[in-house]
Every structure is written in C-alpha cells, then in structure tokens.
Amino acid sequence: MNDPFDTQFEPLKKLRLTNQERVSMRNHVHAYMREHVARIPFIIRVQDLFTNWRASRSGKHVTLQMHPALASLVMVFFVGIGTSYAAESSLPGDPLYAVKTQVNEKVRGALASSETAKLDWSAQLTNRRFQEAEALAAEGRLTPETRTKIENGLAVASEDFDANLAGLGAEKAGDAEDAATDLDANISAHADVLAALSVALPDVRSEVAPILAFARDRAHRGKRAIRAVVVKSATDARVEAISAPVAMTMTIEATTSTSSATVDQNVERADAQIEQGDLVKALGVYQNAIQEARKSEGTDAADTLKARLEKVLKKHKSNEDAHTDTSSDVEVHIDD
C-alpha cells in the first residue's frame, strides 16, 4: 500500500531546472559575488603583514606559518583592544562599564608608579565619575542603581586622592598644592553643572541631589586640604605662617591663559550642541568653561555661566516636550 505522503511528493522528485533557469541563477550568483567580494580572514591578513615585513628586511621571500595557538592569541589581543577602547565611553548600566572600571582603569592605575602620578590618576577618576553622573542625568538614565555605582566610585576615588596627597613628601608640597587646587576647581565646576541639571530637569532632581551634595562637601573639604598643604609648604621653607593664607589666596585666584573670548566661543558651541541634542559633549564644555571662568574672572562669572546653562537646558527640555506632545497628537489614517 502506497503512503499518501510519498504519493503527493512523488511528482516533485521529477522536477528539473531548465537551461534558461540555470543560466539565470548562475548570473545572479556571479552578480552577487561581484558586489560582495569575500574578504580575507583577519588572521590571514595579519600573517601576510608579518610575512611582508620579514621579506622586506631579509630581501628574500619568507613564508610565515603561524601556530593556531599563536593565531588565536593575536586575535584575542586585537579583539581585546577594540573592546577596551569601546568601553571608555560606557556609562553605569552599560554592558561594557565593568570593562571600563575593572580592566581599563585598573591597568592605568597600576601604570601610575610615582606618587605624583598616583595623585593625578585619583583626581582623574573623580572627574570621570562626575562626568558619568552628568551624562546619565542629561540622558534621563540616572537611576538609584546607577547613582549608587557613581557614589561608590566617587567615595573610593576621593579616599585615594586624600591618601596620595598625604603621602607626598615635603619636597613635593608644590605638586600637592597644584593638584588639590585643580581638583577643587574641577569639582566646583561639576557642582555647578549638576545644579543646572537639577533645576532644568526636575525628573532627575532626586537622583542628582546626593551627588551634588557630595560635590559641594568635597569642594569645601578641598579648600581645607589646600590650606593645610600651603601651611606645610610654608613651614618647611621656614616662612612665617602668616604668609600661608596669602599664598593660598594667590593660588586660588591665579589667572589662566584662557581668554574670555575663548570661553565665550566654547560656550556658544556648547549651546549649539545642546540644541542638536548632544548634551554629553555640551556639558563637558560648560564644565571646563565654568572652571576657567572661576579661576580667571571669579565666582560671579562662573555663576553667570551656570545660569546660562540652566536656561539652555530648560529650553531644550521644553522643545523636547513640545515635540513629544505633537507626535502623540498625530493621527494615522489608512485608506481602504
């Protein structure tokens, strides 16, 4: 008895392509191959580079046979570099953030061998955490979980900076004073940016508040650290203690080479970036501008930039809300 299933499909077994169909299929395959040329595998291209390099040095043709284990190691090396580079722009909550903090930053910290280098790196870590907080707040992604990660990172970086600052010897008191002054100015500028974000973006205000409080407290403690370093430096140099506050004031109020015109140009560029929705880059520009303004022109100039940032952020938020409302009111009609 014949199986009904086999009976149904028996005619299909006798189907054959015509010559015209074969030619058409072949032409399609050739056209696809011309448009999508196969690339030589990456590891083979690496082998060719080594081969050509050795041949150019010896003047002879050299065939390089790479052991599979070595080839795998080379591939892992290049993939690792790409991953490490991509992780640098990641933020708390992103898949590559662990690579950034547990691999990239650990390696860079280990390479900071001198006392001054360790001090500078701990200051950079503090700056990186504040930048991440500002970026997340601007993107509306500052959640209790990401905020906690940033707070923990700030606490560790702050403790490391204080320990490295205390570890510098008397002969490096000048370096310590410069580092403490720079970090204080940096954190004060970050506090201004965070405050502007808090005012302009009420949705993230509750999450920004603890980080802003940390920044203000750290800036206040930073001023005490500067005073202590200056007094220590003055004492070691056998200068009367009364000169220390004067030296501190001169350091804090020292002018920079950045002119007001340059600051204005940078801020105008940042305003344009905010209008285009590129908040992360714009906040970095504003943070630097506020820091430079406070150094060269004083607190009033920094407060003016902070107020300007608040105004621009509010305008951007208002435009986004209006765009969202307009989009939600659009009705889609489908003709029969």
pLDDT of residue 68: 56
pTM: predicted TM-score of the whole model, two decimal places: 0.63
Long-range contacts of 146-154 (CB under 8 A, 24+ apart): 146/91, 146/92, 146/93, 147/207, 147/210, 147/211, 149/92, 149/93, 149/97, 150/92, 150/211, 151/210, 151/211, 151/214, 153/101, 153/125, 153/129, 154/126, 154/129, 154/130, 154/211, 154/214, 154/218
pLDDT of residue 10: 67
pLDDT of residue 247: 43
pLDDT of residue 224: 61
Long-range contacts of 272-279 (CB under 8 A, 24+ apart): 274/312, 274/313, 274/316, 275/312, 275/316, 277/316, 279/135, 279/138, 279/139, 279/313, 279/316
pLDDT of residue 250: 40
Q: Using one digit for the tens of pLDDT, what is the confidence trace for 227-254?
A: 555 455 545 544 444 444 444 444 434 4
Regions of the chain with pLDDT less than 70: 1-17, 35-81, 222-260, 324-336
pLDDT of residue 248: 41
- All residues at 6 or more sequence positions from 252 whose CB lies less than 8 Å from its CB, including other chains: 181, 184, 223, 226
pLDDT of residue 304: 87
